[in-house]
């Protein structure tokens, strides 16, 4: 089967399940998106790696990466290889000191968190994109998926967007949310700061 390379397009609250998140993967050379529901801890682990943050204590995925590297094992790629009853399955393709590839079963969210840390590509197969892929219309946000909110909640969020803060206030807020280990919010604040510095 031909593999299709994916990239992380967005990380957002899940529309279908409360207290969960969705990581949205998109074809590297196409328009299809693959939304995958993941837990809060896994979303945090992915966000931390995407934003190159250094938490005070290593997260579980950092520990696993450090352990693999200590034994000269590298994650070459991850493959989202199956979809059964709405559950995605994944594999880590690793290479050790013998040079042989070893395949390890993994939860998809954990595999993605490790792929980001190792800089490894993420792949899936056409049949999975045919079953679960969606095509989004491009909008002003560049086609990103955002959490739909009620009009009341949306109005409350829009009352004070991060763009209305001063850079000094944003830096202070960033320190606060990092101390609370709220890495998702920290990523949004850092994005706003980076926009201003660009």
Gyration radius from the chain CA atoms: 18
Q: Average pLDDT over the chain, rounded to whole?
A: 82
- Domains, the chain, ordered by start: 3-146 (3.10.690.10), 149-198 (no CATH)
How high is the pLDDT of residue 116? 94
How high is the pLDDT of residue 173? 83
For 44, other C-beta atoms within 10 Å of its C-beta total 24
Going across the sheet that includes 21-27, the strands are 101-107, 87-95, 74-84, 122-125, 3-13, 21-27, 32-38, 134-135
Beta strands (DSSP E) in the chain are 3-13, 21-27, 32-38, 74-84, 87-95, 101-107, 122-125, 134-135
Residues 184-196: tens digit of each pLDDT: 777 788 878 888 8
pLDDT band at 63 (very low <50, low <70, confident <90, very high): very high
Three-state SS for 193? helix
Residue 74 token pair: 């590298």
For the whole prediction, is pTM greater than 0.75?
A: no
Q: Which residue has the higher pLDDT, 139 or 88?
A: 88
Between the alpha carbon of residue 38 and those of residues 21, 75, 126, 163, the distances in Å are 5, 21, 22, 28
Residues 121-170: tens digit of each pLDDT: 999 999 999 999 988 655 444 444 443 333 333 334 334 677 778 888 88
How high is the pLDDT of residue 181? 67
How high is the pLDDT of residue 153? 38
């Amino acid at each position: 089967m031909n593999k299709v390379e994916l990239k992380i397009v967005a990380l957002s609250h899940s529309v279908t399940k409360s207290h969960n998140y969705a990581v949205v993967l998109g074809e590297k050379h196409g328009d299809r998106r693959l939304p995958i529901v993941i837990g809060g801890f896994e979303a945090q682990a992915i966000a931390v790696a995407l934003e190159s943050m250094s938490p005070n204590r290593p997260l579980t995925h950092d520990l696993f990466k450090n352990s693999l590297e200590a034994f000269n094992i590298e994650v070459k790629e991850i493959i989202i290889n199956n979809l059964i009853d709405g559950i995605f399955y994944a594999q880590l393709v690793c290479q050790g000191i013998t040079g042989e590839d070893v395949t390890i079963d993994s939860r998809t969210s954990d595999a993605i968190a490790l792929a980001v840390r190792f800089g490894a590509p993420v792949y899936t197969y056409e049949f999975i994109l045919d079953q679960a892929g969606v095509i989004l219309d491009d909008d002003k946000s560049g086609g990103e998926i955002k959490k739909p909110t009620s009009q009341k909640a949306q109005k409350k969020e829009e009352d004070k967007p991060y763009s209305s803060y001063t850079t000094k206030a944003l830096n202070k807020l960033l320190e606060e949310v990092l101390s609370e280990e709220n890495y998702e919010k920290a990523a949004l604040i850092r994005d706003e700061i980076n926009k201003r510095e660009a």
